[in-house]
Structure 1
Amino acid sequence: MGKNNLIGGSIWDEYSQKVQDRMNNPRHMGEFTEEDAAKANARLIVADFGAESCGDAVRLYWLVDEKTDTIKDAKFKSFGCGTAIASSDTMVDLCIGKQVKDVVKITNLDVEFAMRDDKNTPAVPPQKMHCSVMAYDVIKQAAAQYMGVDAESFENQIIVCECARVSLGTIKEVIRLNDLHTVEEITQYTKAGAFCKSCAKPGGHEKRDYYLVDILAETRAEMERERLKIAATHDDISFDDMTMVKQLKAVESVLDSEIRAMLHSDGGDLEVIDIQKSNEGNVDIYIRYLGACNGCASGSGATLYAIENILQEELSPNIRVMPV
């Protein structure tokens, strides 16, 4: 099948050659029967996973050696787009020859990475990333069936988006890997927030513990802190010896990643008014509390101590925080 039979123009360039090859010539598409399992002296496992909201689904077949719990062979059927076929075919490759206890560790990122032509270029356009998530989920369904447990028992991470089954770890990793800046980009890459949208931001039909808007802000702040630390290490300059501008950036980064979420939960916030070096060698950071924190007794007690302690641990033991 030629390129123009599937996708035209420059859109095709967004797909790796590996993805294109597997779209056109999947290696493992097909099915196994109980007769096939008997011939292979193996147990047949058939698992399904799909999402009505996006129209894609996959059926996974395993032939498992019950003496060693090893997947001797595997096949799949895909009911969806070409990317779903390529993702499922790659997923089967990653399963064959492994023990069931090990394949449950395969993530959607492993599937997507395996389809890349080079490690720094995504294998598929953002809107197709959800296909690798689907491949990841059907593995959990098959393993749960074989082991006689609930598929959710394999989750070792917090699920942020129930619709697309996307974990907190996956979202943070995708933000970092692809240098994402908006919630819309997170949705494009993972499908998190694409359906009911409750996980995108507060105010949806279902209250969530984690929201994409907060995860994005916190992860970006962590990335900025790491960048500043690397820059400081490269320049061999300690926080105490930085210019005030660099000190302010470093302080704001720590506040964003470690402190502001705590204040926001109580309806408060703070702003940095000034940074001064004292004659005693201290770095005095002057702050003003905002919102509910303004006038709160804890602002000069436990909250102040917590802010100062975090800044001292992250940046310099010589920091003093002075509320004004």
Structure 2
Amino acid sequence: MAEDEFFLDPTIGRPADKVGYFTDQASFHRFAAAYRAGMAELPKPDAMAAVPTSFGQVRAYRFGPSGGTPVVLLSGRQASTPMWATNLPGLRARHTVWSVDSVGEPGASGQTRELIDGLDQATWVSETIAGLGVPRAHLLGVSIGANLAVQTAMHRPDCVASITLLDPANTFARLSWKMIIVSLGSAIPAMPPRLRNRLLSWISGGAPVDDSVPEGRLVASGMRDYRDAQPLLPRPTEEELRAIAVPVLAVFAGRSIVHDATEAADTARLIPGAQVEVWPDASHAINGEYPDRIAERFAEFTAGIG
């Protein structure tokens, strides 16, 4: 596919408004090449959609036939649809799957308006679900994508059938000093690739990361070539967590460097009826480490939830 078959109005060069952007044409083309390589690793989408929202157009891909209550995948920070390569086979065998590239993150969606708070985040997610022609969806998010799912459950619950959270970042516990170092490092455009890959490996539980791995190449390009415009949201209060009324499955990675998994799990249990688990051997790259287990657990959790 050509670049314009994927990308929806990318902003190239620093804009006047606070929206995500590629630093220059060379950066965009470098990222686009990495994105195409990442998409080539996935099953062929059964459909593509460009969904207009209040904050920009959202690129979405459907895997599997339409029908029923779908699962909508929400990627982590500086990631997009290709990060779900190992998860799609198991998920689409049981569910209709839509993967969306988040507004304000490096991906194929375009941002046209500043995101300020959790309500803004929930708004573009809910408008995307409506634009896909479904009344409600199961949200499955990893890291910051899991935070998006929580924000949507808090602010736009009518469109949410359930939320499944994979090691949600900055949601139930404070970020660790290790994660802060990784975040600061990702914001340095001129960081040597070897050091950048080392940081990515650190957050991925020590797994080797370099440009020979399509997902690693894509995330590294996003860190280097794209300036995101995501607000750092405050963690939900105990009162807000106790008010969440949709079914919740929260899975925390015991070896995560993002936060203290035990502390985060204890806080997540404030949500009424939440199913909360800690997988001791998982790292923050839990979705790639345990795709079959996640697919089975998700199917078990959502069974009977329409």
TM over 0.5: no
**Relative contact order, higher structure (CA 8 A, sep 6+):** 2
- Higher-Rg member (1/2): 1
Higher helix share: 1
Bucket of the pairwise TM-score, normalised by the shorter protein: under 0.3
